[in-house]
Chain A
Amino acid sequence: MQYLLLLYANEAGWDSMTPAQQRQGMEAYMAYTQALTASGALRGSNRLQPVGTATTVRAVDGKSQVLDGPYVDSKEQLGGYFLIDVPDLDAALSWAARCPGASHGTVEVRPIWERPAAVTDRKEQAMVV
């Protein structure tokens, strides 16, 4: 079962850190990624550029509207994600708790909407096993 871990944090926090703290923070993420890789759970991960770079697109009455800035202006911004494949929600929550993002921000855990075929496959597999 796949889950997306969405990492929200206050971007200003990063800028206010010393270079040594930033390096320590980066290394914590690298170690976390390595642990996820070693466990075989990691499917994908990226860090996003700051929300200042965001552009929003929406079609209103058949006409595209392009706006400068993020969709939601909030205190904590989406800064990156990890896509993981684990047996169940509890396993996903325990990886979310280990994510450095959980201690300097918030990690939202969202199950991926599986294609019906994938669900059937999984059930069949479970029956075979």
Chain B
Amino acid sequence: MTATEGNEQAYSTAEAVARRSYGKLVAFLAARTGDVAAAEDALCEAFAAALSDWPLNGCPANPEAWLLTVARRKAIDSFRSRRREIAPDDLGGLDSVENLTAESLAASPEADTIPEIPDLRLALMFVCAHPAIDQAIRAPLILQSVLGLDAARIASAFLTSPAAMGKRLVRAKQKIHAAAIPFDIPGRDELPARLEAVLDAIYAAFTEGWPDPGAVDAVRRDLTAESLFLARLLHELLPNDSETAGLLSLVLYVEARRAARRSPQGDYIPLAEQNPQLWDSEKIDEAEALLLHAGARAHVSSRIGRYQLEAALQSAHVTRRLTGRANWEQVVQLYDALFALTRSPVVAINRALAIAETHGPAAALATLDPLKDDPRLAQYQPWWAARADLLARTGDYSEAHHAYDLAIGLEPDPAVRRFLQLRQSTLPRG
């Protein structure tokens, strides 16, 4: 093998391990010390060491165990250099890591006989979405510690400056360490509420930071693949939880329509006008199956949560691929249930658009009247876009023009802006 080949093999092995096991290694290292930042730093150094060692000495049979051993040594070195005197107790956790990896290394090269590194990613996610952690930073924290995304990339998706995002992440990790937030899975009583925070964080990553219930076809920036991975991972870790299945189902439904959301010219196509043939039927089938199983389980525990309802809404929309028409009556019923659960004005907007299909635009507008003075909606694009559409359909053109102007002015996506401008241009000047 030439040096270049050795290099390439080292890089591709390191990359594969990073993709597959980054979060697992961080979770395992951090669980012992409670220090996520130190775990990340140590792992980062271990990866750097791997890239200089592996091309010379060949890739180890168990790269994960190799990285864990080196990371653990780096962690102890930096711990020692920070604190000269260490009580023996402080290293208790780290020692158990050493034992595990020593065994693993002794067992190589037979990969089958190597004991698995325990998967503590679920505990790590519960730490990141702990009630003591600021809600806005939970999703970025999960993206960084479980997937290894850098602050700049997360900042861009959440429309924040990289410096500010970096600082917030550091502060959150300090809090985890300083407040000694425990790395464990909450007990049965606590689990539903704590799990909801994890689900919300993953969904927030999917909708780029804004918890946006009922965003039937929001534009995504670039974290969809990561969010889908997290939703799938969580479902693998908690296969019997119906809300977790609901979230994965919801994400799959929305992803299934990706190709249909833009014309070949790059123009925005609203859900109602999408060609169902362009929907990814494999993803939809998987989503339907997940929802069905979740529903069966939820029935037993009599708990139907927000994500199952949202997934059910998606299901009612995609029946159009079989029947040619969305099931609007069911959509309205589901939005009623979702509104009762969340009291979210955003749900109310989507419910109004569904009511327009069953009872006409005037009835829909009437349901929005109580929200008119909600200050949260004044700069919320979907509020103005929904009002513009409904007002135009009732013939109130001057108010519709005003609402279109605000919707266009608040919309960051140029394709959606063009779509709204086109709609507005068909209205008579009131």
Interface residues on chain A, number (Cβ under 8 Å): 22
How far, in Å, is A88 (CB) from chain B's closest CB? Answer: 9
A32 neighbours in B (Cβ, 8 Å): 408-409
**B159 & A90 in contact (Cβ 8 Å cutoff):** yes
A24 neighbours in B (Cβ, 8 Å): 418, 421
A48 at the interface (CB under 8 A from B): no
**B411 & A98 in contact (Cβ 8 Å cutoff):** yes
Among candidates A31, A89, A103, residue contacting B405 with C-beta atoms closer than 8 Å: A31
B78 at the interface (CB under 8 A from A): no
Known: A24-B421, A28-B417, A100-B417. A35 touches B410 (CB 8 A): yes
Known: A24-B418, A27-B421, A38-B378. A33 touches B409 (CB 8 A): yes
Known: A24-B418, A102-B412. A93 touches B405 (CB 8 A): no
B409 neighbours in A (Cβ, 8 Å): 28, 31-36, 38, 98
A3-46 contacts to B (CB < 8 Å): 24, 27-28, 30-36, 38-39
Name the residue on B nearest A94 (C-beta): B159
How far, in Å, is A96 (CB) from chain B's closest CB? Answer: 9
Q: Bits for B395-416, please: 1 = Cβ < 8 Å to A, else 0.
A: 0000000001111111111100
Cα A89 to Cα B155 with chains together (Å) = 12
Among candidates A34, A35, A36, A103, residue contacting B414 with C-beta atoms closer than 8 Å: A103
Name the residue on B nearest A97 (C-beta): B412
How far, in Å, is B155 (CB) from chain A's closest CB? Answer: 9
Among candidates B159, B406, B421, residue contacting A97 with C-beta atoms closer than 8 Å: B159
B49 at the interface (CB under 8 A from A): no
Known: A27-B421, A103-B414. A89 touches B406 (CB 8 A): no
**A28 & B421 in contact (Cβ 8 Å cutoff):** yes
Cα A80 to Cα B52 with chains together (Å) = 50
Known: A27-B421, A97-B412, A98-B409. A39 touches B379 (CB 8 A): yes
B161 at the interface (CB under 8 A from A): yes
How far, in Å, is A45 (CB) from chain B's closest CB? Answer: 12
How far, in Å, is A22 (CB) from chain B's closest CB? Answer: 13
B413 neighbours in A (Cβ, 8 Å): 103
Cα A89 to Cα B161 with chains together (Å) = 8
Name the residue on B nearest A29 (C-beta): B409
B296 at the interface (CB under 8 A from A): no
Name the residue on A nearest B155 (C-beta): A93
B164 at the interface (CB under 8 A from A): yes
Cα A100 to Cα B164 with chains together (Å) = 25
A35 neighbours in B (Cβ, 8 Å): 379, 405-406, 408-410
Cα A38 to Cα B402 with chains together (Å) = 11
Q: Bits for A62-97, please: 1 = Cβ < 8 Å to B, else 0.
A: 000000000000000000000000000110011001
**B160 & A90 in contact (Cβ 8 Å cutoff):** yes
**A34 & B161 in contact (Cβ 8 Å cutoff):** no
How far, in Å, is A105 (CB) from chain B's closest CB? Answer: 12
A93 neighbours in B (Cβ, 8 Å): 159-161
A-B contact pairs, 26 of them (CB 8 A): A24-B418, A28-B409, A28-B414, A28-B421, A30-B405, A31-B404, A31-B406, A31-B409, A34-B405, A34-B409, A35-B406, A35-B410, A38-B378, A38-B409, A39-B378, A89-B164, A90-B159, A90-B161, A90-B164, A93-B160, A97-B159, A97-B412, A98-B409, A100-B417, A103-B413, A103-B414
Chain A to chain B: the 10 pairs with minimum beta-carbon distance, closest first: A35-B409, A31-B408, A31-B409, A103-B414, A97-B412, A32-B409, A98-B412, A31-B405, A35-B410, A34-B405
